[in-house]
Amino acid sequence: MKNLKSFVIISMSALFLAINACAAPIKKDGTKAVSKKESAVEMKSVLQAVSIDVEARQLTVDQGGQALAVFKYVVTNIGNKPISGIQWLNAYVNKREVVHNQDMNVELTSPLMPGHSIAINLQIPFVQIQEKFRPLFMDSQSKIDVYPLDRIIRFSDQKVLHER
């Protein structure tokens, strides 16, 4: 009987120890603590990794006299891993009609760290814009929405995140 009692106590202690060892650490505020590996795995969407916004649009003329539509983009790393490259397709839309599209491929010389942003000025020569849509780009009052599509993010650790 004495051995049985000791066996039950040891078994119960082992069971409680196993349950406590499997439980994730808890912060004092009651939320679950997340390790770096777990947080890197949680990023499943391009929307969790990067924000691409158009801040301004203007017209300019280059040194050769060619008219250019210039779009200022701000790319922000909203994820938790450094980004080494970004590819996407821009769709320029006016009144539900695609008026131009442009492939973007940004290879960064130094990684874009989490929480940081870069500004990119994209110059589109007017000769690349269909003639019937050029007046939209020349009129600063016309509304042209820009949608980044089909994004591919390359991280510094060589992992790639796709949006299709």
The domain locations on the chain are 2-37, 45-162
Strand spans (E) along 4-144: 50-61, 67-77, 83-94, 97-112, 117-125
Q: How far is CA 141 from CA 6, 24, 57, 94, in A?
A: 84, 55, 10, 12
More confident residue, 1 or 62: 62
* Model pLDDT for residues 13-51, shown as the tens digit of each residue: 444 444 444 444 444 444 444 444 444 445 677 878 899
Give the pLDDT band of residue 150 (cuts 50, 70, 90): confident
Query: Token pair for residue 134?
Result: 């050029």
Judge whether 90 and 43 are in contact, CB under 8 Å: no
* Model pLDDT for residues 69-116, shown as the tens digit of each residue: 999 999 999 999 999 999 999 999 999 999 999 999 999 999 999 999
Quote the CA–CA distance of 138 and 58 in Å, as a whole number.
8
**pLDDT at position 151, please?**
86
More confident residue, 45 or 138: 138
Give the pLDDT band of residue 164 (cuts 50, 70, 90): low
Q: Topology of 45-162 in CATH?
A: Immunoglobulin-like (2.60.40)
User: Which among 133, 117, 116 is positioned nearest to 72, based on CA atoms?
Assistant: 117
Residue range 155-160: average pLDDT?
Answer: 90
**pLDDT at position 105, please?**
92
